[in-house]
Structure 1
Amino acid sequence: MLDLRVHFLEADGSLAPWREQILADVQSTAERVGGSVSAADGATPVDVIVERRPGETIPELGLSGACYRRGLVTVTLDPDNLNFDTNLARGELRRTLTHELHHSFRHATCGYGFRLGEVLVTEGLADAFDAEINGGDGNPWNHAIAAEDWLGVIEQAELELWADAYNHSTWFFGRNSPGNQLPRWAGYSIGYHLVKTYLAANPDARPSQMTGTPAPEVIGQAWARLKARITAAA
């Protein structure tokens, strides 16, 4: 079982009414993830900050997550959001924590990434890891590109894959600038389907064992396959 050390930040409001559920979800995630990842990934403790920040989460969920280094994951909750209670009850905190823990493990190996191609793989692996641990076929942000838009979006991504700079907010959150219009969550959708394509071509591969898999390996084996499928469907 993973050693997850929970710290509640409640200056912006108490989380007492949900604390029992939160701790149960963290415990469950520690057991599920700890039983799936390598001994090396599971050996280091992770601090888990659980904070309350009104209006600072994914609106559809009432919660969100972040991970910027190996030993620290942040989960942000907004109980004032009308969607929060329903999503907490159906396990969205577990899914969010699972996703962010994959980032944590990856920070200890090849890192989150600085180029679009690297980050597409990192985010795709984290969402595929969530599906491996918690079931289902991804989240709304993994299926956010309309069928008629896929080819144009993936062709634009292909031009930027290995550029020294990319606009993260545009690619992943849909915060567009003039002349650069992308669907909200485009990067998450590309990354998830890219990793799924890789997994289909490598049946023995598991996201839980791919925390150190370099992005060029995934892109090298899966990009052309994914693009060919999209082109055929266009």
Structure 2
Amino acid sequence: MTAGLDTPDRRGRTGLDRHGLDLTGNPRVRIHDVEVLSCDWYVLRRTTFDYEHTDGHVSREQRETYDRGDGATILLYNTDHRTVLLTRQFRLPAYVNGHPDGMLLETAAGLLDGDSPHTAIRREAAEETGHVIGTPEHVFAVYMSPGSVTERLHFYAAPYDPVDNPTGTTGIAAEGEDITTVELPFAEALDRVRDGTIVDAKTIMLLQWAALDGPFSRPGPLPRRD
């Protein structure tokens, strides 16, 4: 008996080795075997499949995929003050891969954890920024690292009231979260993308959307601080 396969793992999951075996959407792909390498919290799998190439020959391939579930992220903005509200928190993967201190400026985000994207992002906005938002605008949904990570991230935007900004740290302490909110002029946030201070992909995508098609869009070049 193996946890995550025929008995529940620590998150109550079974059948993790059957993920993808029933897919029929691409006739050029035939999945043969799925091996669970780890399911301590998220799931690491090695999948063996046949792939029919454009020239007709078929090759046997293996790929590892990391399944952490889908997520959602949101840009909070205020058009009257022309500001955005971001978070700052420690990210170990960035720290061990060259970021000076691992403290990243980001849009609020989190995993769906069984909720709809709309419900999850309202929860995450409240937990990470202290703001209870109204109906968020859905911007797009994308695969952030499709070569190895299964996650699809849902992007949202919503206005916030600067008067309600919390002080101190936010996040769920029991989950090890130690988050501070950072309010920036929108033009400064764009400059921080240019100078490499903001290096988080989801944040850059939402800031660029806000400049091109969102609440700060306008004809001509993107705004720049003097």
TM-score by length of 1: 0.25
Structure number with greater Rg is 2
TM-score by length of 2: 0.26
Structure in which a larger fraction of residues adopt strand: 2
